[in-house]
Amino acid sequence: MQRRSFLSRAAALSLPLAAPLSSPSVWAQPGLVPIRFTLDFRITSQTAPFLVALNKGYYRDEGLDVRVDPGAGSVASITRIASGAYQMGLGDISSLIEFQSTTPGTPLVQAVYQYYNRAPFVIIGRKDRGITTDFRSLAGKKIAAAAVESTRRAWPMVARKLRLKADHFTWATTDFASRDNVVVRGDVDGATYFHDSAVSLFSRMKPEELSVLRYDEAGVNLYGNAILASNAMVTQQPAAVAGFLRATNRAIQDCLADPAQAVAATLARESILNGAVELDRWRITSQYLAAPDTRGHGLGDVLKRTLEQQVDEVTAVFGLKNPPSVEGVFNRAMLPPLAERKMLA
- Specify the CATH number for the domain of residue 294: 3.40.190.10
- Looking at the structure, tell me whether residues 60 and 25 fall in a common domain: yes
Helices 238-257/48-55 angle, 10° precision: 110
Do 193 and 182 meet the contact criterion of CB atoms below 8 Å apart?
no
* Mean pLDDT, the chain, whole residue set: 90
- Looking at the structure, tell me whether residues 175 and 283 fall in a common domain: no
Do 143 and 195 meet the contact criterion of CB atoms below 8 Å apart?
no
Q: Give 42's Cβ-side CA count (13 Å radius).
A: 10
Amino acid 24: pLDDT = 55
- Looking at the structure, tell me whether residues 156 and 261 fall in a common domain: no
Q: What is the pTM of this model?
A: 0.89
- Average pLDDT (104-120) is 94
Amino acid 334: pLDDT = 98
pLDDT tens-digit readout, 3-37: 433 444 444 434 433 333 445 555 567 789 999 99
CA gap 171, 191 in Å, rounded? 9
Amino acid 344: pLDDT = 72
Q: Which of 218, 251, 284 is the last residue of a domain?
A: 218
Residue, of 254 and 177, whose pLDDT is higher: 254
Percent above pLDDT 70 for the chain: 91
- Looking at the structure, tell me whether residues 213 and 257 fall in a common domain: no
Residue, of 148 and 293, whose pLDDT is higher: 293
Residue, of 22 and 254, whose pLDDT is higher: 254
Residue, of 343 and 235, whose pLDDT is higher: 235
Q: What is the CA angle 125-127-286, rounded to 5?
A: 50
Amino acid 75: pLDDT = 81
- Looking at the structure, tell me whether residues 177 and 314 fall in a common domain: no
- Average pLDDT (124-150) is 95
**String of DSSP letters for 162-205:** HT--TTSSEEEE--GGGHHHHHHHTSSSEEEEEGGGGHHHHTTS
Look at residues 134, 317, 126 and name the one whose alpha carbon lies nearest to residue 222: 317
- Looking at the structure, tell me whether residues 114 and 132 fall in a common domain: no
Q: Which of 199, 218, 237 is the last residue of a domain?
A: 218
- Average pLDDT (86-103) is 95
Do 223 and 306 meet the contact criterion of CB atoms below 8 Å apart?
yes
CA gap 91, 14 in Å, rounded? 12
- Looking at the structure, tell me whether residues 249 and 207 fall in a common domain: no
Q: Give 159's Cβ-side CA count (13 Å radius).
A: 18
- Looking at the structure, tell me whether residues 330 and 229 fall in a common domain: yes
2-16, 144-158, 171-185: range with lowest mean pLDDT: 2-16
Amino acid 204: pLDDT = 94
The residue segments making up the domain with residue 313 are 2-118+223-341
Most confident of 193-207, 235-249, 306-320: 235-249
- Looking at the structure, tell me whether residues 206 and 261 fall in a common domain: no
Query: At 44, phi and psi to the nearest 5?
Result: -145, 180
Neighbours of 192 (CB within 10 A): 25
Q: Which of 189, 218, 247 is the last residue of a domain?
A: 218
Flag whether pLDDT at 327 surpasses 60: yes
- Average pLDDT (202-214) is 95
Amino acid 12: pLDDT = 41
- Looking at the structure, tell me whether residues 114 and 29 fall in a common domain: yes
Q: Say whether 292 sits in a helix, a strand or coil.
A: coil
Q: Is the dihedral of CA 133, 295, 323, 94 positive or negative?
A: positive
- Looking at the structure, tell me whether residues 125 and 206 fall in a common domain: yes
Domains of the chain: total? 2
